[in-house]
Amino acid sequence: QMWAFPTPIMQPLPSFTLPPMHTMQFSSMYQPAPIASGMIAAQGEDRLSEEGDAGGKIRRTKRRKALEGGPKKPATSFVLFSNTVREKVKAENPGIAFLDLGKKLGEMWRDMEPELKKAYIEQATQQKDKYLQDKRDWLASRALGTSDASDSKCLLSPDQH
């Protein structure tokens, strides 16, 4: 390569290629690179994801924003279970770390009898059905423009018209 300067300021970076997928499954040497904190984007911002080709192209994708003012998503059966049992587990294990508490709750959920899980699953299913109906109604009212006055961005009093 011909450079305008006696020595280049920055050497071209070597192209990086991943090993074939079948070798990645069995290779104990393959370690994914840690994610830099600067690459983690806040919700609603562009996300960067590098493609594994030699060209090093960067693809930008947009995160979908949750619609504001809509119904809140329901809890899963595990979340309902953990909310019920969390305080009891904390009392039995004083000083337990947050991560260890989560692991303990996960083990309890995995080892729980299916008959006992059924109550939490049914409760979660009922909440999900109610959420889906509320969301359908909310989207329909939003499409018709009959949303609450508190949801509108510009509120005018009658004397301001």
pLDDT single digits (tens) 16-56: 666 665 555 555 555 555 555 444 444 444 444 444 445 66
Question: What band does 142 get if pLDDT is binned at 50, 70 and 90?
Answer: confident
C-alpha to C-alpha distance for 112 and 7, rounded to whole angstroms: 67
C-alpha to C-alpha distance for 121 and 127, rounded to whole angstroms: 10
> Does 70 or 27 have the greater pLDDT score?
70
Q: Identify whether 120 is part of a domain.
A: yes
> Does 86 or 51 have the greater pLDDT score?
86
In angstroms, the Cα distances linking 44 to 41, 63, 65, 71, 72 are 8, 5, 6, 19, 18
Q: Identify whether 11 is part of a domain.
A: no
Distance, first Cα to last Cα, the chain: 70
Q: Identify whether 102 is part of a domain.
A: yes
Q: Give pLDDT, residue 45.
A: 46
Q: Give the pairing of strands 58-62 and 46-50.
A: antiparallel
In angstroms, the Cα distances linking 101 to 64, 95, 112, 117 are 31, 10, 16, 19
Q: Identify whether 139 is part of a domain.
A: yes
> Does 66 or 130 have the greater pLDDT score?
130
Q: Identify whether 148 is part of a domain.
A: no
Q: Give pLDDT, residue 76.
A: 95
Q: Identify whether 23 is part of a domain.
A: no
C-alpha to C-alpha distance for 151 and 71, rounded to whole angstroms: 13
Share of the chain above pLDDT 70, in %: 55
Section 143-152 average pLDDT: 60
72: Cβ–Cβ under 8 A, 6 or more apart, which residues? 131
Q: Give pLDDT, residue 101.
A: 94
Q: Is the pLDDT of residue 117 over 80?
A: yes
Q: Give pLDDT, residue 30.
A: 52
Q: Identify whether 128 is part of a domain.
A: yes
Q: Give pLDDT, residue 143.
A: 84
Q: Identify whether 112 is part of a domain.
A: yes
| Full residue range of the structural domain in which residue 89 is found | 77-143
Share of the chain above pLDDT 90, in %: 41
Q: Is the pLDDT of residue 128 over 60?
A: yes
CATH number at residue 87: 1.10.30.10
66: Cβ–Cβ under 8 A, 6 or more apart, which residues? none
The number of domains in the chain is 1
In angstroms, the Cα distances linking 143 to 25, 68, 96, 147, 151 are 48, 14, 48, 9, 13
